[in-house]
Amino acid sequence: MRDIGVAVLGTGFMGRVHVEALRRAGVGVRGALGSSAEKSRAFAERHGLAQGYRDFDAVLADREVHAVHVGTPNRLHFAQVRAALEAGKHVLCEKPLALNAEESARLVELATKRPRQAAGVNYNLRYYPLCLEARARVRAGELGRVFHVAGSYVQDWLLRESDYNWRVLEGEGGALRAVADIGTHWLDLAHAVTGLEVEAVCADLATVHPARRRPRCEVETFQGKGRQVTETEPVEITTDDYGAILLRFAGGARGSLWVSQVTAGRKNALRLELAGSRRALAWESERPNELWLGERDGPNGLLLKDPSLLGEYARRAADNPGGHNEGYADTFKQLFRDFYGYIAAGNFDAPPPYPTFADGHREMRLCEAVLDSHRRGGWVTLKGAHA
Ligand SMILES: NC(=O)c1ccc[n+]([C@@H]2O[C@H](COP(=O)([O-])OP(=O)(O)OC[C@H]3O[C@@H](n4cnc5c(N)ncnc54)[C@H](O)[C@@H]3O)[C@@H](O)[C@H]2O)c1
């Protein structure tokens, strides 16, 4: 995998995490592109990369770049992914894949025409060892028939009206924010664990701050917290700070998801709970090394992440012994291993083990249905589904 050269687009939160995780996965990072040549150079220097690119054309023209990681604001994803695929590169795009389902459908089509180029979306949370274990257990029938899938994804970094990042603007991040930004992580995880397809949604969204104060300088993700910004201007906000969504899955299971980016004290709290006919199961991102198993006729169980206690499917993503915790950054490393392992194996007829553009498109279709449901005030069936 060392022969594969990667360029990372975006030098913010994700740019940093991707570079570190690529290296830990044993993949060569060739260079990075920021919003200016100067930012690219500074980032390349800080991270010891050979190239801090002048512009995106320089990335595309670099023959040593075989794969491009897109970690820029959402509005740039479509054009950057399309150009990278057309230049013959493999592409791993951050979530959400695009601004809307029309764009993501076009990217799926383009990727399908280029079967020898890997095209993935970075739904990394699937790669927590205990999420993989949950998946293996659910798919093996250990829960019995799954009745309902419930949970939440809650943060506090956009609590105040002075909290700002490009995401809060519809033109930068898309019409949906909390739902697209963190809700789709939950929806992807629920799908990866259960295999259940959402058929219909009923959503209620709220914008807690219809106006925010935009700093006159750039504020990268989470950087507004703890930083004093004095020069600001008012900006109108139409995207959701909060959302509640009821879900109906094919086959009859029900679900509910609650998302918020304005809940004080919840830093990055994803919770997924499944109720089945034999037992229940729950996992939380802020205690990621514990999997709760709910029993009706005996003591409940708490499975700790320890490779010796996991099945084969999850063990591959548990690099550290029990008690030596695996965390957020490790999920990127594991996803990248799957992505580049697939490329290195060269068998592009095999089903990809990582989240694909089809998964990214599923999430965009769900977002579209959520927005439609909120605006209509009722249930919306996903196109192509027969609820
Ligand atoms: N998988 C995850 O857990 C996860 C977490 C956070 C963000 N994300 C996704 O990653 C993407 C980036 O989010 P972030 O949180 O890193 O944002 P960020 O604001 O921290 O960083 C974005 C960076 O992109 C740079 N940029 C802007 N225009 C550019 C251009 N034309 N070319 C190159 N760089 C440019 C900005 O200067 C900034 O450094 C988003 O799509 C977001 O949804 C995913």
List residues near ligand 1 (CB under 6 A).
Answer: 9-14, 33-35, 71-74, 76, 94-95, 122, 124, 165-166, 181, 218, 220-221
Nearest CA, atom 27, ligand 1: 35
- Residue 296 · residue 277 · CB < 8 Å: no
At residue 224, the pLDDT reads: 72
Q: Which CATH architecture has domain 126-327+364-376?
A: 2-Layer Sandwich (3.30)
pLDDT score of 220: 72
Task: Report pLDDT digits (tens) over 5-22.
Answer: 999 999 999 999 999 999
| Predicted confidence (pLDDT) per residue in 89-147, tens digit | 999 999 999 999 999 999 999 999 999 999 999 999 999 999 999 999 999 999 999 99
pLDDT of residue 33: 98
The pick from 20, 54, 72 for probing ligand 1's pocket by mutation, whose C-beta has the most ligand atoms within 8 angstroms, reads 72
> Which of 261, 291, 11 minimizes the C-alpha distance to 129?
291
- Ligand 1 atom nearest to 9, measured from its CA: 33
> Which pLDDT score is estimated for 188?
98
- pLDDT for 351 equals 97
DSSP 128-165: SHHHHHHHHHHHTTTT-SEEEEEEEEE--TT-STT---
Q: What is the pLDDT of residue 17?
A: 98
Four-residue CA torsion sign, 34, 40, 44, 45: negative
Domains 5-123+338-354 and 126-327+364-376 share a fold: no
Q: Output the pLDDT for position 3.
A: 87
Q: What value does the CA radius of gyration of the chain take, rounded to a whole number of Å?
A: 21
Q: 161 and 211 in contact (C-beta within 8 Å)?
A: yes
Domain boundaries, the chain: 5-123+338-354, 126-327+364-376
Residue having the nearest C-alpha atom to atom 30 of ligand 1? 35
In this prediction, residue 385 has a pLDDT band, given cuts at 50, 70 and 90, of: low
Instruction: Say what the pLDDT of residue 229 is.
Output: 66
Tokens describing residue 350: 């095999």
Share of residues in the chain with pLDDT > 70 (%): 97
pLDDT of 352 > 70? The answer is yes
What spacing in Å lies between the alpha carbon of 71 and ligand 1's midpoint? 5
Q: In this structure, which residue's CA is closest to atom 11 in ligand 1?
A: 71
Segment 294-313 shows an average pLDDT of: 98
Residue 272 main-chain phi, psi, to 5 deg: -130, 125
Which pLDDT does position 129 carry in this prediction?
98
Please give the C-alpha separations between residue 72 and each of 10, 14, 173, 248, 268, in angstroms, as whole numbers.
5, 8, 10, 33, 20
How high is the pLDDT of residue 237?
A: 97
Q: What is the pLDDT of residue 387?
A: 41
Residue bearing tokens 């930004």: 181
Q: Which atom of ligand 1 is nearest to the CA of 93?
A: 41
Give residue 95 CA to ligand 1 midpoint distance, Å: 10
Q: What is the CA(8)–ligand 1 centre distance, in A? A: 10
Write the pLDDT tens digit of every residue in 178-199.
999 999 999 999 999 999 999 9
Q: Give yes or no for a contact between 127 and 353, defined as CB atoms under 8 angstroms apart.
A: no
- What is the Cα–Cα distance from 272 to 257, expressed in whole angstroms? 9
Mean pLDDT for the chain?
A: 96
Residue nearest to atom 31 of ligand 1 (CA): 35
Identity of residue 241: D
Are the C-beta atoms of 196 and 251 separated by less than 8 Å? yes
Per-residue pLDDT at 323: 95
pLDDT at 383: 80
Q: Classify domain 5-123+338-354 by CATH number.
A: 3.40.50.720
Q: Which two tokens stand for residue 302?
A: 């708490």
For residues 214-230, give the mean pLDDT: 74
Quick: pLDDT tens for 167-178: 999 999 999 999
